[in-house]
Structure 1
Amino acid sequence: MPPKFGTSGLRGLVSDLTDGLCAGYVRAFLQVTPHSGQLMIGRDLRPSSERIAAAVAAAAAAEGLTPVDCGALPTPALALAAMEAGAPSVMVTGSHIPADRNGLKFYTANGEITKADEAAILRVYAGETDCPPVEAVEDPEAVPSYRRRYLSYLGRSALSGLRIGVYEHSSVARDLLSETLRFLGAETVSLGRSETFIPVDTEAVDTATRDMLAGWAAEHGLTAIVSTDGDADRPLMADAAGRVIPGDVLGVLTASLIGADTVVTPVSSNTMIELSGRFTRVVRTKIGSPYVIAAMQSAPKSARVAGFEANGGFLLGFAAEGRGGLIAPLATRDAFLPILLPLAECVRRSVGLADLVAALPARATASDRLTGVETEKSLALVELLSTEPEARQVFFDGNGPEAAIDKTDGLRVTFQSGNILHLRPSGNAPELRCYAEAEDTETAAELVQKTLEVAREAIG
């Protein structure tokens, strides 16, 4: 499958992401994007990212811009630095997908590109282009500026007394996250560092990883375990028992703690958001941060709006005041805020993460995926189930009568039992995603596995 735009930038196999192809897309991006003469560039820790970043820099120079190398850093750190500089930026990352794939995330000086921006890039894209290599200007301030964002907002000692395990794996934020936690007063324990890239999907944490987290929690006597995906725009957090806290639950906690009155989230997120009664307005979108951002931008100017996805990536749409000062809006997914703010609340109230979660309505979610599934086959299955009631009845046999169907993004079926099943082809990888919601985690997980087994047979 050739590289294409999905729910989070341009993605494809590393073998297909040639220097010429990447340069061609970057030149198209710069031709339709306002700039002040420079392009800021970042990358994750994949083996291919440094090579692709060099191609991005060469393309910027060919368009007459100065390429600025921000190095290996979190995606939100690059976006923040670029917005502060009034410059566009490109992050080289495949996020949570395996290392044989990579991608480009594009940002204007105002934040993540929209679907309209993607269409404009595709209109002027002229194919692969050869650009001579260049030496980029280095920017050593992007990472310290991102760390100061949270230190100034939360204030020193906000995490005093906590003992936090940091699952480092190959996250580009592994050192920065530990440093930030320590600056805020926590004690940290390094866990699972790897020099080989490990694809960590915070929305579909596998059983082996869950068991590993529980083992570490017991072995080290931890308050919590924290981590991110590869480019650190999605959080992973487990409580003192090593139980993973779903990303949309972290989103509810973070949005309420920061004082949001309006929440924007995809249709796949937990219906506990509405049931919690913590927000004046909840807006549901298709899956993908561009859709969340577009809906956030459409909110009334007076709204204190925040957005988040089921993967935990959090978008702040207003300036919020904390113990140490203001934190500015950031129109891209962020992993640090939904990690740090709930932990700070635990210190403030002398409670554990499990206590914060227990105060929310008892609705549990689970998700997983079939990998290596051609997108066309996933689309065909979802189309069949969406349009043929009899096929849907056979496919979902055993779940009882339907109560409602939502086709906002894929097929989401609510049953009279209250259980929910949602099938959706991935927008950036050959995968079929399945999401489930039920009254407890075990039921939700069983629903996902059973549904994926049926889907595997149906797809063949």
Structure 2
Amino acid sequence: MKFGTSGLRGPAEGFTPELTAAYVEAFLDTAAAGARARQLAIGMDRRASSPAIAAAVAAAARGAGWEPLFCGALPTPALAGFAMARAIPAIMVTGSHIPADQNGLKFYRPDGELRKSDEQPILDAVAGRPSATPAGFALPEPDPAARLAYRQRLLSAFAPGALEGLRLGVYAHSAVGWRDMEELLSALGASCTVLEPSADFIAVDTEAVDPAALARLRALGREHGFDAIVSTDGDGDRPLLLDAEGVQVNGDVLGALAALALGADSVVTPLTSTSAIEASGWFAHLARTRIGSPFVIEAMETAPGTAIVGFEANGGFLVQTTLDNGGRPISPLPTRDALLPLITVLAEARREGVAVRALADRLPPRAMLADRLPQVAPDRGHGLVAELARSDAARRALDPHLAHPAAIDTTDGTRMVRADGVIVHVRQSGNAPELRCYVEAPSPEAARAVLEAMMARLAARLGG
């Protein structure tokens, strides 16, 4: 088990009751100070392993003298909002977008997401804690309060009929909140068709969607005449939006469009988001961070402005201050959310009477694409990333244009800017044993060509 960019991750079978109890108790001992009550909110995604791990979390909490509040299978932002409103800690059992045989624990302090500085004290406490098997705990019927509050926050943020007349496909797969998404969109006036719900867990990475799934969705879009297709990752904090032609609107573009529509004057986003955001001139203040919501949150807390938001390249949208959406307040929720940016951009397209793609095309023409190499051990991945930062020869082997780049940034991985403005960013994932590559170019075609070449050469290098 290890902490990644957002929570503790590892093989599902590794989350034994003993190990789970050690982490839960360590978290409550070191990071839950200031809780208004000795209560722990617990939620989970739809992985087969999640109920047993959630029961182990609840048993550990009760054994430590905390009351477990089981909120059921629900989106991570719903659990987070519920806990923050009550100033109590929370644990979400989720592996997010990583494979089904993996899982994780995402921790929330009473005041919000766990910070990177909280991780080492937890690890130290786990290392010094004797192994003990907690008493068993049968999960009760879930309390619907967290889900209902999440839905109400979104419904109250938009005028009735905000999506009237839109025909939407809802790609359900095994997303924990697909029913909430379909019901919210319908309540706001859209006509929704649910696509491909699955009882088995399907890992959907919104930054690297399976090409076969995209092809199926495009065909369904043509068949039904959808204005857009919407979805999320497994735990509902990363959005997926396909336009009427079945072309994905990248998460960073979606985030920028939502921030603009919601009147944000200050935006925080990681290095991997498109440089078109700067070129747009849409925001008075823009800050860049390392990858991971904890870094975005820390920067939002000190950002200037009165309407402060953040978003990641995956589209997960964070709200730091109360926003005014045409006289309708949107309360702060400083953790990734998928539905607010999706609804905001769809509502803006409908209000203006234009296609989603027309909104996306208002950004300067930059295309960002990403892919990943699975099963890359951290030591190998980090070694290659470091070599690319220091070695002309290593960069030349990857791409002759990178031998002498216009700029190199090592804030998070190695981000290289070619003389022609094309950006290649290589980093080892903090959530899974995989190497990620991001490419930004003037057009989708150029980005795809560079990305395919990069992935082939990275695979050859690591396979050799």
So what's the TM-score if we normalise by structure 1?
0.97
The answer for the alignment partner of 2:145 in structure 1 is 141
Structure 1 residue ranges without an equivalent (≥5): none
The answer for the alignment partner of 1:334 in structure 2 is 337
Question: Which residue type is aligned with residue 40 of structure 1?
Answer: A
The answer for the alignment partner of 1:98 in structure 2 is 99
Instruction: For residues 311-334 of structure 1, give each alpha carbon's deviation from its aligned partner in whole angstroms, at most 9, with x where no partner exists.
Output: 110001110122462111101000
Quote how far apart the aligned CAs of 1:119 are: 2.2
Question: Which residue type is aligned with residue 233 of structure 1?
Answer: D
- 1:220 aligned to which of 224, 241, 254: 224
The answer for the alignment partner of 2:266 in structure 1 is 262
Residue 15 of structure 1 pairs with residue 28 of structure 2:
no
Q: Which moved more, 1:380-389 or 1:336-345?
A: 380-389
Partners of 1:360 and 1:451 in 2: CA distance: 26
Alignment check: 8 A CA contact 1:404 1:415 kept? yes
The answer for the alignment partner of 1:436 in structure 2 is 439
SS state of the match for residue 408, structure 1?
coil
Number of residue-to-residue matches in the alignment: 457
State how 1:338-357 maps to structure 2 within 5 Å: 338-357=341-360
Question: Which residue type is aligned with residue 367 of structure 1?
Answer: A
Question: Which residue type is aligned with residue 321 of structure 2?
Answer: F
Alignment check: 8 A CA contact 1:400 1:416 kept? no
State how 1:158-169 maps to structure 2 within 5 Å: 158-169=162-173
The answer for the alignment partner of 1:311 in structure 2 is 314
Partners of 1:184 and 1:128 in 2: CA distance: 51
Partners of 1:124 and 1:297 in 2: CA distance: 28
Alignment check: 8 A CA contact 1:66 1:136 kept? no
Residue 115 of structure 1 pairs with residue 132 of structure 2:
no
Alignment check: 8 A CA contact 2:41 2:90 kept? yes
Instruction: For residues 42-79 of structure 1, give each alpha carbon's deviation from its aligned partner in whole angstroms, at most 9, with x where no partner exists.
Output: 00000000000000001110110100000000000000
Quote how far apart the aligned CAs of 1:395 are: 2.2
The answer for the alignment partner of 1:153 in structure 2 is 157
Partners of 1:396 and 1:145 in 2: CA distance: 50
Alignment check: 8 A CA contact 1:154 1:324 kept? no
SS state of the match for residue 137, structure 2?
coil
Alignment check: 8 A CA contact 2:392 2:403 kept? no
Partners of 2:391 and 2:117 in 1: CA distance: 32
Structure 1 pair 128/162, CA: closer, same or farther in 2 (3 Å)?
farther
Q: Which moved more, 1:55-64 or 1:132-141?
A: 132-141
The answer for the alignment partner of 1:25 in structure 2 is 23
Question: Which residue type is aligned with residue 157 of structure 2?
Answer: Y
Structure 1 pair 159/196, CA: closer, same or farther in 2 (3 Å)?
same
Partners of 2:250 and 2:431 in 1: CA distance: 22
SS state of the match for residue 142, structure 1?
helix
- 2:380 aligned to which of 377, 384, 402: 377
Residue 281 of structure 1 pairs with residue 281 of structure 2:
no
Partners of 1:181 and 1:154 in 2: CA distance: 11
Partners of 1:92 and 1:68 in 2: CA distance: 13
State how 1:50-199 maps to structure 2 within 5 Å: 50-125=51-126, 126=129, 128-135=131-138, 138-199=142-203
Alignment check: 8 A CA contact 2:269 2:312 kept? yes
Question: Which residue type is aligned with residue 421 of structure 2?
Answer: G
Instruction: For residues 163-212 of structure 1, give each alpha carbon's deviation from its aligned partner in whole angstroms, at most 9, with x where no partner exists.
Output: 11000000001111000001111110010111111100001123222212
The answer for the alignment partner of 2:407 in structure 1 is 404
Which contiguous aligned blocks of 4+ residues in structure 1 show a shift greater than 6 angstroms?
A: none
Residue 38 of structure 1 pairs with residue 39 of structure 2:
yes
Q: Which moved more, 1:387-396 or 1:71-80?
A: 387-396
Quote how far apart the aligned CAs of 1:136 are: 5.4
Q: Which moved more, 1:379-388 or 1:240-249?
A: 379-388
Question: Which residue type is aligned with residue 157 of structure 1?
Answer: G
Quote how far apart the aligned CAs of 1:18 are: 1.2
Question: Which residue type is aligned with residue 101 of structure 1?
Answer: Q
Instruction: For residues 230-287 of structure 1, give each alpha carbon's deviation from its aligned partner in whole angstroms, at most 9, with x where no partner exists.
Output: 0000000011111110000001001111111111111111001100100112111111
Quote how far apart the aligned CAs of 1:110 are: 1.6
The answer for the alignment partner of 1:229 in structure 2 is 233
Residue 389 of structure 1 pairs with residue 398 of structure 2:
no
Quote how far apart the aligned CAs of 1:408 are: 0.7
SS state of the match for residue 55, structure 1?
helix
Instruction: For residues 112-170 of structure 1, give each alpha carbon's deviation from its aligned partner in whole angstroms, at most 9, with x where no partner exists.
Output: 11101212212222264311023556422111111111111102111111111000000
SS state of the match for residue 335, structure 2?
strand
Question: Which residue type is aligned with residue 72 of structure 2?
Answer: G
Quote how far apart the aligned CAs of 1:218 are: 0.3
Question: Which residue type is aligned with residue 100 of structure 1?
Answer: D
SS state of the match for residue 15, structure 1?
helix
Structure 1 pair 127/208, CA: closer, same or farther in 2 (3 Å)?
farther
- 2:323 aligned to which of 320, 329, 337: 320
Alignment check: 8 A CA contact 2:107 2:114 kept? yes
Question: Which residue type is aligned with residue 218 of structure 1?
Answer: R
Alignment check: 8 A CA contact 2:168 2:227 kept? yes
The answer for the alignment partner of 2:4 in structure 1 is 6
Alignment check: 8 A CA contact 1:152 1:324 kept? no
Partners of 1:410 and 1:339 in 2: CA distance: 29
Partners of 1:397 and 1:205 in 2: CA distance: 29
Alignment check: 8 A CA contact 2:389 2:410 kept? yes
Partners of 2:302 and 2:17 in 1: CA distance: 37
The answer for the alignment partner of 1:451 in structure 2 is 454
Alignment check: 8 A CA contact 1:151 1:324 kept? no
So what's the TM-score if we normalise by structure 2?
0.96
Instruction: For residues 298-319 of structure 1, give each alpha carbon's deviation from its aligned partner in whole angstroms, at most 9, with x where no partner exists.
Output: 223x442111111110001110
Quote how far apart the aligned CAs of 1:109 are: 1.8
Alignment check: 8 A CA contact 1:39 1:88 kept? yes
